[in-house]
């Protein structure tokens, strides 16, 4: 009899036909029909319409049919809760069946039906089954408690199932014990505080006894549970270790790894002088090596774990280098991991063998693998000094192969070797320079440029080489640009006479034509250094470099210790703490609570998924799309490359040199050897540092904002700095639109025309929504008032402070630059009222570190008044409570970029100061939200 035929029926009207068959009188036909239904269900078709008909088949003597119907029920009960009730009677009846297999089946299935109404009926049968005479039923019931807890935790506690479950730990049957341990461990995870498992020497002893008797899976549950226990002293730790070590000979790799976890953890408590400590270390190596003869997938898990173990206790595997040699047929993921461990184990004793291997690998075909092998040779040179020379010559051999990616990778590592052993291997520079043209990867280009700059005095044509890179300066990546800037400055300091022109060229490229703040900053620093004190410049730029460490890419020690506690689990495979990849909503215990973004609704969407990332760099869990916070956070975490590619980016390109002029004036008056290119007129008369003082003026200005939500206009650009143009202004928000109210005054003696305005990129993407329209020419002493509408769809770049806005205004005379701070409340949107439930959930979900508390002094308002005042600025009161005479206002607001801020405002009648607690996923904004509160409440 073959069942494959059920997969083939795909005609129309199928559901209708099935319905008829399900209601057939013939048993065989019924069973056939149910099979067809299950087959369709598997292939993803929706057969939920058949619910009543399938459930009708449930009362049968045929066990196979019953199981099929149960399978269907588990799948669809949730979508048809009312219909599912129909099944309850059968379940309850089956739980009383004389056949233990049927009793167990019923209790197992009931737990999988996640319908509240059914859950209530489950309690009585479950209670009976937990005390059933048959161990098979008890072990099934034990797991069922965990299922029920997942549906309704409160119910499980109320019904006292947890105590019954605890009793099962002392059950006579090892499998019941194992399942009870598994269920309790899972439940305990969601109650970190409760001492559910209550591990003490007595219960540990019971677990260790069961360990010898239960199935391989049960052993894993028990060992994983043991690993959470902390022995009271080293003697207890040793005695547990002694009883766990036999597990290292188990055929099941998971049992072995879980045993290794327990041993690695408890070993911490043992004194290193103890004989036993040494014995244990010796016992750990063979089983770890044996794991490498398992199937490739398990080898991969084992290797990721060995990587951790080798970092924690290198002595365990120090003699086992050979087993990590790569085999020709190993899958690529195994090869890459082995390579990693080889480097970690490399030492003076085995370096010759390792190098010979690495050289072999460098001729393989897989590009990633070859690159990693080449890089590994460099790391060996840095790690084992005696081998450095051999490594360098190996790398030179590889460069001779002219295989493009090999050459590039080799150059990147040679740079590090130069840093580690200065003035030793410079003879190879000539060979490196021959390959200059073939370098097309930023990292390799940057490395080569660094080498040229560092050894400029020994390379005759260093200036030509660097100049050749300069031609395409703007097309280079940031990494290369920064390196090129530094290299040319080094060159200039070493050979000042011939390279003056070159250094001017690169400084102007970096400061005036670049929109990258890092590059500009670095450019200006060099510029000022060179112009004020060339000797100091030499000391700074050509200073001795700190040594580079021997071990790169080590896992940070606290993380390593945490990961050791997770040996065998996914965390050890990803090399990330569970909080980084486990959804937080289900109350998983976190050993540490880093702020993270929980995105539930789009969690499954494939487009946000990192696909097939190489195991070396496991996918960072990328915040899902639609998580607007990601935008802001990216600015923090990501490299300072250009902002998100928005449609307006071309407009923003125009604002590139916003800062140029302002800072230009900084150095304009100083005695720089040669003035910068004539394109930007030096503002000789301006006092040094004017741009900055401007900024400070405004900072203090913000504190004194007054008026109802709209601050009075403050002077943003004094006339003396802008050739007679004075600009003052303020920001407003009215019915959803933001505008900048400007007042332009002409204090010069000539007429001003051709006004235009642009903003630099800023934290919230503020940009003019329309051009600056000054209709008539502005005659001397005339003032004009303009309201400039703003949008928030401009390019985003995080500013410091967050609400800083850099503005350029142009007229027929010149371009002027100034910066100002905008009050954050202009960004509070109208639909910022959060639903109460949502508020509660979000408040809980945001980690406590993100909470900020502020005092608002001298604000004698009552709750009512405060609430209404805040409401008109789009801060909405979600709920209000009176606790011990204090009024608590729970408020929410939303920023234009979708960031929610939750607030708790505590007002004490009679006390003029109130307390504001803010919670937000982007804690940076809190300070500014507080300022907005203060401004609004006080005016």
Footprint on residues 75-94 left by another protein (CB under 8 A): 75
672 binds another protein (CB under 8 A): no
Q: What are phi and psi of 339, to 5 degrees?
A: -60, -45
For residue 45, the minimal CB distance to another protein (Å) is 11
Nearer to another protein, 351 or 774 (CB): 351
For residue 448, the minimal CB distance to another protein (Å) is 20
User: Of 332-351, which residues contact another protein (CB under 8 A)?
Assistant: 332-333
For residue 126, the minimal CB distance to another protein (Å) is 14
Nearer to another protein, 164 or 245 (CB): 245
Q: What are phi and psi of 263, to 5 degrees?
A: -65, -45
353 binds another protein (CB under 8 A): yes
Alpha-carbon gap, residue 451 to 912, rounded angstroms:
64
660 binds another protein (CB under 8 A): no
174 binds another protein (CB under 8 A): yes
How would you list the strands of the sheet with 804-810, edge to edge? Answer: 756-759, 804-810, 815-821
Nearer to another protein, 216 or 754 (CB): 216
Query: Is the separation of the CB atoms in 924 and 933 below 8 Å?
Result: no
224 binds another protein (CB under 8 A): yes
363 binds another protein (CB under 8 A): yes
Alpha-carbon gap, residue 100 to 562, rounded angstroms:
43
User: Of 479-498, which residues contact another protein (CB under 8 A)?
Assistant: none
For residue 352, the minimal CB distance to another protein (Å) is 11
For residue 599, the minimal CB distance to another protein (Å) is 8
User: Of 521-580, which residues contact another protein (CB under 8 A)?
Assistant: 566, 568-574, 578
Nearer to another protein, 164 or 290 (CB): 290
DSSP label of 798: -
> Applying CB under 8 A, which of residues 80, 608, 787, 871 lies at the interface with another protein?
608
The answer for residues whose C-beta is within 8 angstroms of residue 420's C-beta and 6 or more apart is: 381, 382, 388, 547, 548
What are the angstrom distances between the C-alpha of 700 and each of 697, 704, 721, 750, 800?
Answer: 6, 7, 19, 32, 15
Which region among 168-176, 372-380, 872-880, 912-920 touches another protein (by CB under 8 A)? 168-176
DSSP label of 796: B
61 binds another protein (CB under 8 A): yes
For residue 842, the minimal CB distance to another protein (Å) is 19
Which region among 38-46, 667-675, 742-750, 863-871 touches another protein (by CB under 8 A)? 38-46
User: Of 98-157, which residues contact another protein (CB under 8 A)?
Assistant: 98-101, 104, 108, 111-112, 114, 134-137, 139-140, 143-144, 146-147, 150-151
Q: How far is CA 591 from the centre of its chain?
A: 17
615 binds another protein (CB under 8 A): yes
Residue 433 structure tokens: 């320079």
427 binds another protein (CB under 8 A): no
Which region among 58-66, 454-462, 548-556, 928-936 touches another protein (by CB under 8 A)? 58-66
What long-range pairs does 345-351 form, CB within 8 A, spacing at least 24? 345/310, 345/314, 345/317, 345/318, 345/320, 345/321, 346/321, 346/379, 346/380, 346/383, 346/384, 347/318, 347/384, 348/384, 348/386, 348/387, 350/321, 351/380, 351/384, 351/386, 351/387, 351/390
Number of residues that bind another protein (CB under 8 A): 134
Alpha-carbon gap, residue 404 to 436, rounded angstroms:
11
DSSP label of 246: G
> Applying CB under 8 A, which of residues 611, 700, 837, 848 lies at the interface with another protein?
611
For residue 323, the minimal CB distance to another protein (Å) is 7
Nearer to another protein, 144 or 727 (CB): 144
Nearer to another protein, 323 or 433 (CB): 323
For residue 290, the minimal CB distance to another protein (Å) is 5
**Backbone conformation region of residue 198, classed left if phi is above 0, alpha if psi is from -120 to 50, else beta:** left
Alpha-carbon gap, residue 866 to 936, rounded angstroms:
9
> Applying CB under 8 A, which of residues 76, 91, 161, 300 lies at the interface with another protein?
300
**Which of 398, 488, 495, 482 lies closest to 452 in space, CA to CA?**
488
Alpha-carbon gap, residue 891 to 406, rounded angstroms:
59
Nearer to another protein, 602 or 704 (CB): 602
469 binds another protein (CB under 8 A): no
For residue 680, the minimal CB distance to another protein (Å) is 47
User: Of 230-289, which residues contact another protein (CB under 8 A)?
Assistant: 243, 245-247, 249-254, 256-258, 286-287, 289
CA angle 545, 547, 551 (to 5 degrees): 145
Alpha-carbon gap, residue 292 to 253, rounded angstroms:
10
Alpha-carbon gap, residue 129 to 110, rounded angstroms:
12
Site string for another protein, 579-598 (x = CB under 8 A): --xxx--x-x----------
Peptide bond preceding 801 in cis form (omega within 30 of 0)? yes
Nearer to another protein, 345 or 766 (CB): 345
> Applying CB under 8 A, which of residues 296, 594, 681, 860 lies at the interface with another protein?
296
Query: Is the separation of the CB atoms in 214 and 178 below 8 Å?
Result: yes
Residue 378 structure tokens: 């460099």
650 binds another protein (CB under 8 A): no
Nearer to another protein, 38 or 705 (CB): 38
Site string for another protein, 396-425 (x = CB under 8 A): -----xxxx---------------------
For residue 104, the minimal CB distance to another protein (Å) is 8
Q: What's the N-to-C CA distance of the chain in angstroms? A: 84
Nearer to another protein, 329 or 497 (CB): 329
User: Of 435-454, which residues contact another protein (CB under 8 A)?
Assistant: none
> Applying CB under 8 A, which of residues 48, 166, 191, 217 lies at the interface with another protein?
217
DSSP 650-708: HHHHTTTTHHHHHHHHHHHTS--SSPPPTTSPP-TTSPTTHHHHHHHHHHHHHHT--SS
> Beta partners for 876?
892
For residue 407, the minimal CB distance to another protein (Å) is 11
Exposed/middle/buried for residue 246 (C-beta within 10 Å: 0-12, 13-18, 19+): exposed
């Amino acid at each position: 009899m073959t069942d494959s035929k059920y997969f083939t029926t795909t005609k129309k009207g199928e559901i209708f036909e099935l319905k008829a068959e399900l209601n057939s009188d013939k048993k065989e036909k019924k069973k056939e029909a149910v099979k067809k239904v299950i087959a369709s269900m598997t292939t993803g078709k929706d057969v939920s319409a058949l619910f009543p008909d399938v459930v009708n088949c449930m009362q049968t003597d045929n066990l196979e049919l019953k199981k099929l119907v149960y399978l269907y029920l588990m799948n669809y009960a949730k979508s048809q809760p009312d219909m599912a009730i129909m099944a309850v009677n059968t379940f309850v009846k089956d739980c009383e069946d004389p056949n233990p297999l049927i009793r167990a089946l019923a209790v197992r299935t009931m737990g999988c039906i996640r319908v509240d109404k059914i859950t209530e009926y489950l309690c009585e049968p479950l209670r009976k089954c937990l005390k059933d005479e048959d161990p098979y039923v008890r072990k099934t019931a034990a797991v069922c408690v965990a299922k029920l807890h997942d549906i309704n935790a409160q119910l499980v506690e109320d019904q006292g199932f947890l105590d019954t479950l605890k009793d099962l730990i002392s059950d006579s049957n090892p499998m019941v014990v194992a399942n009870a341990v598994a269920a309790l461990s899972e439940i305990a995870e969601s109650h970190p505080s409760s001492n559910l498992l209550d591990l003490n020497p007595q219960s540990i002893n019971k677990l260790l006894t069961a360990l010898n008797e239960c199935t391989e899976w049960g052993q894993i549950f028990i060992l994983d549970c043991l690993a959470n226990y902390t022995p009271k002293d080293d003697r207890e730790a040793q005695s547990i270790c002694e009883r766990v070590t036999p597990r290292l000979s188990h055929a099941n790799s998971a049992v072995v790894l879980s045993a290794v976890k327990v041993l690695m953890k408890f070993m911490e408590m043992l004194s290193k002088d103890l004989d036993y400590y040494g014995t244990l270390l010796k016992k750990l190596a063979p089983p770890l090596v044996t794991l490498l003869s398992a199937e490739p997938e398990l080898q991969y898990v084992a290797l990721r774990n060995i990587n951790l173990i080798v970092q924690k206790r290198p002595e365990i595997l120090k003699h086992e280098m050979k087993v990590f040699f790569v085999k020709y047929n190993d899958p690529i993921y195994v090869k890459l991991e082995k390579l990693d461990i080889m480097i970690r184990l490399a030492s003076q004793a085995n370096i010759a063998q390792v190098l010979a291997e690495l050289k072999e690998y460098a001729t393989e075909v897989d590009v990633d693998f070859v690159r990693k092998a080449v890089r590994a040779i460099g790391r060996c040179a840095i790690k084992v000094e005696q081998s450095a020379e051999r490594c360098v010559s190996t790398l030179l051999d590889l460069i001779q192969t002219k295989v493009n990616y090999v050459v590039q990778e080799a150059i990147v590592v040679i740079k590090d070797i130069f840093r580690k052993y200065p003035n030793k291997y410079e003879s190879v520079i000539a060979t490196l320079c021959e390959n200059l043209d073939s370098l097309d990867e930023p990292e390799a280009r940057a490395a080569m440029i660094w080498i040229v700059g560092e050894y400029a005095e020994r390379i005759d044509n260093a200036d030509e080489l660097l100049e050749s890179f300069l031609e395409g300066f703007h097309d280079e990546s940031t990494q290369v640009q920064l390196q090129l800037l530094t290299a040319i400055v080094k060159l200039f300091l070493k050979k000042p006479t011939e390279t003056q022109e070159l250094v001017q060229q690169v400084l102007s490229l970096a400061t005036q034509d670049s929109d990258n703040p890092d590059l500009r900053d670095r450019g200006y620093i060099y510029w000022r250094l060179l112009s004020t004190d060339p000797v100091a410049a030499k000391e700074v730029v050509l200073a001795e470099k700190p040594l580079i460490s021997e071990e790169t890419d080590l896992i940070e020690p606290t993380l390593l210790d945490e990961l050791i506690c997770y040996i065998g689990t996914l965390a050890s495979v990803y090399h990330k703490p569970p909080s980084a990849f486990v959804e937080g909503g289900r109350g998983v215990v976190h050993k540490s609570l880093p702020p993270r973004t929980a995105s539930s609704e789009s969690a499954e969407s494939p487009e946000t998924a990192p696909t097939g990332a190489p195991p070396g760099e496991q996918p960072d869990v990328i915040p899902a799309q639609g998580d607007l916070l990601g935008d802001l956070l990216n600015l923090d975490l990501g490299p300072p490359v250009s902002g998100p590619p928005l449609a307006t980016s071309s407009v923003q390109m125009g604002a590139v040199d916003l800062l140029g002029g302002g800072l230009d004036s900084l150095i304009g008056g100083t005695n720089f050897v040669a003035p910068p290119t004539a394109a930007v007129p030096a503002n000789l008369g301006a006092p040094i540092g004017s741009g900055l003082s401007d900024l400070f003026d405004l900072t203090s200005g913000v504190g004194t904002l007054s008026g109802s939500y709209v601050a009075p206009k403050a002077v943003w650009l004094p006339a003396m700095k802008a050739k007679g143009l004075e600009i003052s202004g303020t920001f407003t928000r009215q019915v959803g639109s933001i505008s900048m109210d400007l007042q332009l005054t002409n204090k010069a003696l000539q007429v001003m025309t051709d006004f235009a305005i642009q903003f630099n990129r800023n934290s919230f993407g503020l940009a003019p929504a329309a051009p600056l329209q000054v209709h008539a020419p502005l005659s001397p002493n005339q003032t004009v008032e303009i309201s400039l509408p703003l949008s928030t769809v401009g390019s985003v770049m995080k500013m410091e402070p967050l609400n800083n806005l850099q503005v350029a205004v142009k007229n027929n005379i010149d371009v002027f630059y100034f910066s100002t701070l905008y009050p954050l409340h202009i960004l509070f949107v109208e639909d910022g009222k959060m639903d109460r439930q949502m508020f509660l959930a979000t408040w809980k979900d945001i980690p406590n570190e993100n909470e900020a508390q502020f005092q608002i002094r001298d604000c004698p308002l009552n709750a009512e008044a405060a609430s209404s005042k805040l409401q008109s600025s789009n801060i909405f009161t979600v709920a209000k409570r009176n606790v011990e005479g204090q009024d608590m206002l729970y408020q929410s607001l939303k920023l234009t970029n979708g960031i929610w801020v939750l607030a708790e405002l505590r007002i004490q009648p009679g006390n003029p100061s109130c307390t504001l607690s803010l919670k937000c996923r982007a804690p940076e904004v809190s300070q500014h939200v507080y300022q907005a509160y203060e401004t609004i409440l006080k005016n």
